Amino acid sequence: MNKFLIPLLMSATAVAGLTGCSSKQDQLIDKPDFHTTDSIFDIEALEALGRVTNPKVSPDGSKILYAVSYESVEQNKSNNDLWVMNADGSDKRRVTKTPGSEGEAAWLSDERIAFVAEKAGKPQMWVMNIDGTGRRVVTALENGVQGFSVSPDGKKVLLISTVKYARTAQDVYPDLPKANARIIDDMMYKHWDEWVTEIPHPFIADFTGYTIDNLVDIMEGQPYESPMKPFGGIESFAWSKDSKQLVYVSRKKVGKEYAVSTNSDLYLYDLEAKTTRNLTEGMMGYDTNPAFSPDGTKLAWLSMEHDGYESDKNRIFVMDMASGVKTDLTADWDYTADAIAWNPNGKSIYFLAAYQGVTPIFSVELGSKKVTMVTSNADVADYAALAPLGESTVVTMRHSILYPNEIFAVTGRKATQLTEVNADVLSQIVAPSVEKVLVPTTDGKEMTTWVVLPPNFDPEKKYPAILYCQGGPQQAVSQFWSYRWNLMLMASNGYVVIAPNRRGLPGFGTEWNAQISGDYPGQNMRDYLSAVDYMKQRPYIDGAHIGAVGASYGGFSVYMLAGIHENRFAALIAHAGIFNMEAQYLETEEMWFANWDMGGAFWEKDNAVAQRTFANSPHKFVDKWNTPILITHGEYDYRILSSQGEMAFNAAKLRGVPAEMVIFPEENHWILRPQNAILWQRVFFRWLDRWLKPQADEAEQPAKADVAPAAAEADAAPEAAAE
């Protein structure tokens, strides 16, 4: 489930490294030897950080398994290795050290683990003793293994692999073996960054602990995904306590029906009877993340109410498996849950949720439905994992705008740090500082805004500023850490960063979150301008040198602001943004998103919401563009095609607006490869420095286009905006 941009709380390159090709000639990617002489957090420092992921507590609670990945700029790839430590953080041991990545790790027993690593060019399941000995490959599936889950009794294993989906030219015309064409007769023929030729299916096999047998595709012959693309994984499955049943998530739709619907369901598969039953029939939105209670009598999951609304409130439901009675535990709690895990006592469920600008850990009691914050309400940080250890401790990951994920243990609202993977890098850095500012909005509300101040901040000086425009559009601006849209890096380059929780972001109630749907050109744009106008009053901000930057919906925001900002900005950067909304409506793949957020199709002339949306498309305000703009895009981006960026660039050049464009032929909606990521950052700051830093040689800068200031309001009526 995602809008345009999913939260970047972990390194996408670490994920990519699991399936990247490796060879015997590959060099070991290890922790870099990083030293700085100026104490500034720069691109080299960002690339030197270790990416910590996937903490798992051993069955006896004595150890924690986790992963750390590093990047090699020279090899242009990353490598993920496995580590083990005692539950108190002592005795940290690296248990894999190979040129290829090991990931998706899980405990088999207190002394053995399983993981996914490459074998003969394909990811497969492996097993190993916790001391690193006894490593051996378990599977040899033709299409590889993307994830696995061993049953509670250890005798079965669920394997995620792929099956053929799309027909080829040779399937239709076998006498043309060299024909190269795609024959398409329905929608969803491409998704995220690939043409859909294969789909994931769950396979179940007998498991001895070292080998598998009797492999069965439990959805054989069904043209449906499980887990759901593009980001579903092993969290889409849950074993019953007796290992005789498996719950899986699937949206059993294809083509146009798939493209317009978010109605996934939970299916209960009986291994002995080989029967399948829909547990959530009639629940019309996303149903995901199933988890059986410790005693196996109940099933919890996340559920959205409305079909087609992928950023709906995620409710926590529990079903009594004997009676089938379903209960919404968060009906009276006005926030959306992101992940769940049972407390081992079976009486409550831990969950993560964006809340007032941060992402704490919460707990909800089954009986009273009482929601309690498990972490401290004074903790200005985000939490990003749930691994219960006993009844009172949660092993988790924590990060903020100023530091990446490390593993913590939370007990009694106290968070104890267990790993210090990046302490040596961060100890050399003079960090920026972060302030929480409440900005008055045009409709009389207050908007939580994070302001990141440069290192060694001097309130007597003037600083250029950057307005950060979030993607999603409904993804929280919390204490997030990104390896590309890194607010600490922006501030360390001498900018004050303004990051508003504008309308449409979670963490401030369902009304605030839902308001943006059907109102792209409206209140959230006014919120952005309110944040800029409010912060310009601070004496330390150079009001003549403010930029706006963003990706995905943030890129759309930049394109929209370009036509309505009335000279508030001196430079703009848009990555993977929507420029022409009519074109986007027919170019994107997940039509449920376009229908819900745009209000419908542009040809629905009697649909006032849709007509207002399309009449206020950024491309219709190009006549007001007068601000230098940098545009970047990936050619493998099938969510928002690179043609959107190309149109915007051409429009700027034809208008005489200073513009530059960078197209990445091998990247998707993100920029994943290390050297491309460094290139992107260099271009990003070169562009901002050129236009926003007063000390730059302005004589060498082209003048702004001679264009009259924008007169249109962000919420202009369709007929006015179209003139």
Q: Quickly list DSSP for 442-511.
A: TTS-EEEEEEEEPTT--TTS-EEEEEEEPSTTT---SS---SSS-HHHHHHTT-EEEEE--TT-SSS-HH
Dist CA 406 CA 417 (whole Å):
7
Domain boundaries, the chain: 329-431, 432-721
Tell me how far apart the alpha carbons of residues 224 and 228 are, in angstroms, rounded to a whole number. 9
Residue-wise DSSP of 167-226 = PBHHHH-TT-TT---B---SS-SEETTEE-SEEEEEEEEEE-SS-EEEEEETTTT----S
Longest dimension (CA), the chain: 78
* Per-residue pLDDT at 694: 78
> 677 Cβ partners below 8 Å, 6+ apart?
13, 47, 483, 484, 671
* Contact assessment for residue 439 and residue 412, using Cβ atoms and an 8 Å cutoff: no
Intra-chain end-to-end CA distance of the chain, in Å: 37
Q: Is there a contact between 176 and 169 (Cβ–Cβ < 8 Å)?
A: yes
Going by C-alpha positions, the residue among 288, 249, 245 that lies closest to residue 269 is 245
CA distances (Å), origin 302, targets 264, 288, 340: 11, 5, 8
Task: Tell me the C-alpha distance between 430 and 663, whole Å.
Answer: 34
Q: Residue 501: what pLDDT? A: 98
54, 188, 215, 228, 246 from 199: Cα distances, Å: 25, 12, 18, 9, 20
Q: Is 669 a catalytic residue?
A: yes
- Using CA atoms, how far residue 453 sits from 401, 448, 457, 541, 546, in Å, is 11, 16, 6, 10, 14
Query: Amino acid identity, residue 683?
Result: V
CA–CA separation, 357 and 478 (whole Å): 5
Report the alpha-carbon distance of residue 702 to residue 687 in Å, rounded: 13
Catalytic hit among 545, 565, 619, 669: 669
Distance, in Å, from the CA atom of 337 to the CA atom of 510, rounded to the nearest integer, reads 12
Helix (H, G, I), strand (E, B) or coil at 332: coil
- CB half-sphere exposure, 377, CA atoms < 13 A: 4
Q: If you ran DSSP here, which 8-state letter would residue 146 be given?
A: S
Alpha carbon distance 53, 68 (integer Å): 6
Q: At what angle do helices 608-615 and 591-598 cross, to 10 degrees?
A: 100
Please give the order of strands across the beta sheet that includes 298-303. Answer: 287-292, 298-303, 315-320, 326-328
Q: Looking at domain 329-431, which CATH architecture does it have? A: 6 Propeller (2.120)
Query: Measured between alpha carbons, how far is 545 from 368 in angstroms, rounded to an integer?
Result: 53
Model confidence, pTM: 0.93
pLDDT on residue 25: 54
- Pairwise CA distance, residues 189 & 255, whole Å: 8
Give the span between the Cα atoms of 512 and 441, in whole angstroms.
12
Give yes or no for a contact between 320 and 329, defined as CB atoms under 8 angstroms apart.
Answer: no
Strand, coil or helix: 137: strand
> Residue 254: CA atoms inside 13 Å, Cβ hemisphere, count?
12
240: annotated active-site residue: no
Give the torsion through C-alpha atoms of 423, 427, 429, 431, to 10 deg. Answer: 80
CATH 3.40.50.1820 fits 432-721, yes or no: yes
Of 312, 382, 597, 637, the catalytic one is 637
Given 236, 552, 557, 617, which residue is catalytic? 552
* Residue 359 DSSP label: B
pLDDT reported for residue 2: 43
What Cα–Cα distance (Å) separates residue 165 from each residue in 225, 254, 255? 10, 11, 12
Mean pLDDT by 10 residues, the chain (723 residues): 37 38 66 94 97 98 98 95 98 96 97 97 98 97 98 98 96 96 96 97 98 98 97 97 98 98 98 98 98 98 98 98 98 97 98 98 98 96 97 97 98 97 97 98 98 98 98 96 97 98 97 96 97 98 98 98 98 98 97 96 97 97 98 98 98 98 98 97 98 67 41 32 26
- Residue 32 confidence (pLDDT): 93
Q: What residues does 446 pair with on adjacent strands?
A: 440
SS3 annotation, 618-674 = HHHHHHHCCCCEEEEEECCCCCCCHHHHHHHHHHHHHHCCCEEEEEECCCCCCCCCH
> Is residue 185 annotated as part of the catalytic site, yes or no?
no
